[in-house]
Each structure stands twice: as C-alpha cells, then as structure tokens.
Amino acid sequence: MDQISTFGASRYAVRDLQLFRDADDPGVVAALAPCAVIKVAAGARVEDGLRARLYIVLSGSLEVAPDAHSVDDSGTTRVLPGESVGEQAVLDDAVNLAAMTALEDCELLVIEPELVWQLIDRSNGLARNLLRLLSFRVRAANAQLKRRQKLGEFYRQLSLNDGLTGLYNRAWLNEMLPKLAMRARQDGSPLSIVMVDLDHFKRFNDTHGHIAGDAALSSAAGVIRDSLRPSDFAVRYGGEELMAVLPDTPLGLAEMVAERLAERLRTAMVFPDMRLPLPHVTGSFGVATLAAGDDEHALMAAADAALYRAKQAGRDRVSV
C-alpha cells in the first residue's frame, strides 16, 4: 500500500466522488488537492494504522467486512469507484476496525478526519450527501435486522414443530401450556386436554415396518389436526402419543371431541395404495380439564391418569 500521487495531480475529478457531488466549489477542490492517493494490490488489506480515515475508491473495488462489535454484522460489502468507507469512524472519532481488502488493484483517496470536518463546515452539499449516505445505511441496517428477526422467528417456529407429523412438538407444549393455563385461571375460562396413545403401536411397527409406522403416525396426526377448531392445538407429545389442547372447552365438550377423534381414527386410511389388507389404527383417549387452583402439571397428570384408565378398560375408547 503505497502513495502514488495526490488527488490534485491525479486524473480523477471531484465530480467522480459521490460524497462531493454538487459540492465541488473551488475551495473544496483546493482542499482535496494535497490528499494522498494510494495504491492497494489485489488481495491486500488496507492498513490504516488504527486511525479514523475516510477512504474513497477511485478505481478497482474493496471488500469491507464489518468489525466484530458492529450492530450490522450482516456480511461483507463491496465498495465501488466513487463510493466511500470510514465515514462513521470519522464522525465518531473512533478507530476504524472494519477489515478492508482489495478485490482487485485499487487506487484510494485518503482524507484525514480533520479535513473531513473542515469540508463539512465549508460545504452544505457535502453535509447533505453525507446525511443521505448515513440515512441509507441506517435503513439498510434496519431492513437487514428485520429480515434476521423474521428468519429467527421462522427457525424458532420450525423448532416448535414435529418434523414427521407437522404438529406442534414437546418444546411447544412446554412453552405454551403454562401460558394457556395461566390465561385460563385469570379469565376463569375452562382449559381441557385430550391425551391420545395409539393402541399397540409397537405391534403395528413390527407387522408393517417402520415406514408404515411413520405413515400411520402421520395419518393419526392428520385426524387430530383436521378435526379441531382453529383455536385448538394439535401436539405430538412423544413417540406414538398425541394431544389436543382445547382452550375455552369444558370437560363435557372435550369428551365429545375425544369421542369424535376416536371414531375418525378408526376409519382413517394409512396408505390406501398398498396391496395388502388395509391396516387401521385406534387410540386410547384420556380427557381432563384444568381444575380450580391447579396448574398445567396437575392437568397433564389428570389426563395421563384418564388415559391409563382407557387402556385398562380395553383401549380404543375415551376415559375422563
């Protein structure tokens, strides 16, 4: 990285510099004339001696990677001829920690921070251009943050869904059931759950294979999901255990929902194109409603106890 000229002795004009468009009065031109023009070979880093300087690309291009402390660490930026880098460091009087690397042989105009401030005081056009540039970068950073937030929320939601069935998973239940129970207690509204265990599922897997078992699970999950209201939630609790979470639903209505689920599960097709007798799955259902003074743990325990009674009574039935 060597000085090869000054701006006044170079072939470049002030009008080529984005920051100085409409700001090229004779005083600005004269002030920029002694500024150094340096050459940076392709692949070389721009070493600034840990000083805040303004760099303007005259030819070639730079790759600028944000420093580790930057809020907008969204990736590298390519700086093209006429564009600048380092404005924020100059304005903040802070060390420019951004890593700048020449993508090709570059010529850069280097403006020291003291001169930048003098030129801002002298030229309203430069001040306006600088404000526009910083405003654009703030908007770009905000847009990037919003995209990140949406992407983060997408992956968060993805982590709360079961990959096989598409139902909510245990992580979702652990997060949301306490909130639903608290809301029910605060509002004085009923909250019920239906716990479902597919009957003799191990035997089904052993007979038809695990691929068929996955198809049966997906079929059962579809029955649960498609039979509920938009305000209800279908969950894969674990293994062959499914669950329906029913806000604003008293015990009697929840029992009716369970009976409907049991009936639809008995007739659900697992894989209709198979050249074998069509297998069906059934389930045992335990129903419980949040009691006064209880929490989500007590609700789950009550549903689990009801499910045990359904199994003990012969399976393929509903118990409360």
For residue 178, what are its two tokens?
Answer: 């306490």
Three-state secondary-structure class, residue 288:
strand
How far is residue 57's CA from residue 33's CA, in Å, rounded to a whole number?
16
For residue 191, what are its two tokens?
Answer: 């909250």
Q: How far is CA 214 from CA 160, 163, 219, 274, in A?
A: 19, 11, 9, 15
How far is residue 98's CA from residue 36's CA, in Å, rounded to a whole number?
20
Question: What dihedral angle (degrees, nearest 10) is formed by the CA atoms of 4, 8, 11, 14?
Answer: 120
Q: Give ∠ CA 128-129-135 in degrees, rounded to 5.
A: 90
Residues 195 and 241 sit within 8 Å (Cβ to Cβ): yes
Residues recognised as catalytic: 240
- Taking Cα atoms as reference points, which of 58, 56, 77 lies closest to residue 67? 77
Strand stretches in 95-222, DSSP E: 99-102, 106-111, 191-198
Residues 125 and 22 sit within 8 Å (Cβ to Cβ): yes
